[in-house]
Structure 1
Amino acid sequence: MILTPIRRYGAVILMLLTVVFSGEALAKTHTATADHPSHLLKTGNKQVSSKKEYSRNSAKSRSLPDLRKYPSGTPRKKAFLRTVMPYITSLNAEITAERNWLIEKQYQNRWSPSELARIHDIAKRYKVSWSGNTRRIPWNTLLERVDIIPTSMVATMAAAESGWGTSKLARSNNNLFGMKCTKGRCVNAPGKVKGYSQFASVKESVSAYVANLNTHPAYASFRKSRAQLRKADREITATAMIHKLKGYSTRGQSYNNYLFAMYQNNQRLIAAHM
C-alpha cells in the first residue's frame, strides 16, 4: 500500500520533466528559425535571398518584355502601361524637381561651387549655350526646355509608335518612339532594326524621347507653346499639347489627330496606371 503513492509521485515528476525539456526544445527551434530571415528561400541545399532574386528579375525587366504573349486589346495595353509608366512618371518627377530648383535660384546673386556645377550640368544636358557668367544666365531658354512632357502624351506616343510594345523596333531596339539614329552614328548590331536608335533599356528610350522634344530645334514651337501655358498659369496636359507637336511625323496634322483620338480612346486606362 505504501508503494502506490510513491509510484504516483514518480509519474508526476516524470511528466514535469518532460514538459520542461519539450519547452526548451521548442525555444531552440524558434531561435533557429528566427536566425534565418523570411526573405531567405531554400533551393536544394542552398539558401537564396528573395530580395536578390527580385533584383535579378528587375535587372532583366529593364528591356521590353515580349508583350505579344498577352491577348490583344485591354490585357496587352495594361501590360504595356505597367511596363512603361513607372519610367515616364519617374522622369517627369526628376524634371519637375530640377525645374523647381532653377525657379528657386533665378534671382540669386551668390552661387556656391556646387550650385554652379549643377547649373552648368543642366545647361549642357539641355543644350543651352551659356558663357558661365552668373549675371547672364539664359533663364528663359532654360525654363523653356527644362519642363515635363505630359505623362499621358508620352504613354500615348509610345503605344502608337510601338504598337503597344509589339513592333519589331520596340522588341529588338527597345525603341518605343520610332526614333531614327543620326547619320554616321548608327550602330547596326546583329538582330537590330537598322537606321533606328538602339537603347539598352526602356528607361533609356523614354529619356531619349523626352530629351529630343526638349532640345531639338525641330520642336521649338512645341516648347514655345508649353512656355505660354506656363505663363498663363495653365496646366500642361496631353489634351493641350498633342496638337502642338509639329514635325514629328511626315503625316503632319493627321498624325496629331490620330494621336489625340488614340489618347481619348485610352484615357481612362492610362489614367489608371499613373
Structure 2
Amino acid sequence: MNNRKLIKGLAGGAVVGTLLLGTILPLHAETITMQNFDEFSRFFEGKGYSIAKWKEGTQPVPPYVILDIPEEWRKKVAPELPVAEKKRTFLRLSIPLAFVANHALREDRKHLKTLEEDHAAGKALSKADEKWLLEQADNYGLGGRDIDESFWHELKHRVDIVPPSLIVAQMVDESGWGTSRFATEGNALFGQWSYKGGIKPKEQRKSKGNYSVEAFKTPLASVQAYMLNLNSHDAYADFRKARATLRAQEQTVTGPDLVGTLIRYSERGEAYVKNIEAIMTHNDLSPLDAARIADEKIMYVTLK
C-alpha cells in the first residue's frame, strides 16, 4: 500500500454504528430476558455487581449489553421510582454500554498499531487487513489520504476511546436518564440529528431544515455513533488533540480533562459544558475512567 491513496467513502454515524457493532457482538451469545425492572435489579444484585466496586476498581465492569430501552421505562417505571433508584437503574444499564464500546475501540487501536508497524517494516498487508484499514479510514473521515506518517498519526488520534465518565454524563443529559421519547422509540441516547430519516421532533425548528433525531437498532449502536462523531467531526478536533496530549504524557484519559473541549457539542455552549461537569461531579462518575472491563463473554439483556 506504499504511496497509494485510500478510496474515498462515507463517514456517517449510522454506517460506522453498523460496522463496529459487527466487530464486537457475537452472533450467538447468552441472552437473558427479564419481565420487568424489578427482575433486573434482582439479577444485578444476585450476580454481586456493584457500581461502587466498579468505581473502586475492586470489580471489573461486566460486558452485558441491553438490546433495547423499553417504552415502559419512560411511561411507567422511571416516573414511579424514587429519583435515586431511577438514577441507579439507568447507571447499571448505561455504564456497561460505555465499556463494551470502548473495548471495541481499544481492540481496533491495537490492530491499527500492528498494521502501522508492519507497514513501516515494509511488510505487505493481507487483503483482509487492507480492507479493514480502508474501512477505518473512510469511517473516520480520512478516505483518499496518502499512506504516510501523517496518515497513521491522524488515524491513531481518531481511533481511540472516549472516557466512560463523559459518555455516561452526556447520555444522562441528552436522554434524560433514558426517559426521552427518542431514547425509548429509537434507542437514541445522544439526540444526534439526521437529515436522512429518523424520529421527528414534535417541535421541529424550521430554521434548521427537515431534520430528525437518528434512531438506532440498539442502545450500543447509539453509543458507537456518538463516539464516532467525537472521533471524526471537525468540530471536535480540540477534543482529539487534548486526548492525544494526555496519551503523549502517559496520563489517563479522563472526562474532566476533556469535557471543556466539547463547547461546540451543543448550542448551549459553555452552559452545556458546565452541566456535563455537574452531572459527572454529582454522580461521582470520574472514578469510572480508571475502571476496567471484565474479561468475559458478552451477555445480552432484554427487558420487557
What TM-score, normalized to structure 1? Answer: 0.70
- Equivalent residue, structure 1, for 2:97: 87
Count matched residues: 220
Listed as ranges, the gaps of 5+ residues in structure 1 are 1-50
Instruction: Report the alpha carbon displacement of residue 190 of structure 1 after superposing the two structures with TM.
Output: 11
Query: What does residue 147 of structure 1 align with?
Result: 160
Give the alignment of 1:3-14 within 5 angstroms. none
Q: Deviations over 1:18-64 (max 9, x none)?
A: xxxxxxxxxxxxxxxxxxxxxxxxxxxxxxxxx99836989x95111
Percent of aligned positions with the same letter in both sequences? Answer: 29
In 2, distance between residues paired with 1:174 and 1:90? 16
Match of residue 259 from structure 1: 276
**How big is the alpha-carbon RMSD for the aligned residues of Structure 1 and Structure 2?**
3.2
Aligned partner of residue 124 in structure 1, secondary structure: helix
Whole-angstrom distance in 1 between the partners of 2:30 and 2:268: 47
* 1: CA distance, partners of 2:241 / 2:115: 22
Task: Say if 2:68 is the partner of 1:63.
Answer: yes
CA shift for structure 1 position 135: 5.2
The change in CA–CA distance for 1:269 and 1:150 in structure 2 (over 3 A counts) is: closer
Q: Write the letter of the residue equivalent to 1:83.
A: L
Q: Does 1:160 align with 2:173?
A: yes
Q: For residues 134 and 273 of structure 1, what CA distance do their matches in structure 2 show?
A: 33
The structure-2 alpha-carbon separation of the partners of 1:258 and 1:136, relative to structure 1 and needing over 3 Å to count, comes to closer
1:54 match: secondary structure: strand
| Alignment-mate amino acid for residue 168 of structure 2 | A
Change (3 A) 1:84 1:136: same
Q: Please state how far the C-alpha of 1:115 moved relative to its aligned partner.
A: 2.1
Aligned partner of residue 236 in structure 1, secondary structure? coil
**Which range is displaced more, 92-101 or 263-272?**
263-272
Structure having the higher helix fraction is 1
Q: Is the 8 A contact 1:145 1:214 kept in 2?
A: yes
Question: Which residue does 1:54 correspond to in 2?
Answer: 32
Judge conservation of contact 1:78–1:269 (CA < 8 Å) in 2.
Answer: no
User: 2:201 & 2:277 partners in 1: Cα distance?
Assistant: 36
In the TM superposition, 1:88-237 aligns within 5 A as: 88-108=98-118, 109-110=122-123, 111-131=125-145, 134=147, 138-182=151-195, 185-187=196-198, 195-237=212-254
Q: Does structure 2 conserve the Cα–Cα contact (< 8 Å) formed by 1:152 and 1:263?
A: yes
Following TM superposition, the consecutive aligned residue runs of length 4 or more in structure 1 with deviations greater than 3 angstroms are 51-58, 133-137, 187-191, 268-274
Give the whole-Å Cα distance in 2 for the aligned partners of 1:235 and 1:244.
16
CA shift, 1:188, in A, is: 5.2
Q: How has the CA–CA distance of structure 1 residues 107 and 216 changed in structure 2, closer, same or farther, with 3 Å as cutoff?
A: same
> Is contact 2:246-2:252 (8 Å) kept?
yes
Which blocks of at least 5 consecutive residues in structure 2 are unaligned? 1-28, 41-64, 205-210, 294-304
CA distance in structure 1 between the aligned counterparts of 2:227 and 2:82, rounded to whole angstroms: 27
Give the C-alpha shift of residue 84 in structure 1: 2.1
- CA deviations 1:101-135 (Å, max 9, x no partner) are 2223323221222222221222122221245x655
The 8 Å contact of residues 64 and 202 in structure 1, kept in 2 or not, is answered as: yes
Structure 1 pair 144–171 and aligned structure 2 pair: CA distance change class (3 A): same
**Separation of aligned partners in 2, 1:259 and 1:101:** 32
Corresponding residue for 2:267?
250
**CA separation in 1, counterparts of 2:137 and 2:285?**
36
> Which 10-residue stretch deviates more, 103-112 or 207-216?
103-112
Counterpart contact for 1:146–1:214, Cα < 8 Å: yes
String of CA shifts for 1:234-268, please: whole Å, max 9, x gaps. Answer: 21111111112121111111211111011011015
Of 112-121 and 74-83, the range deviating more from structure 2: 112-121
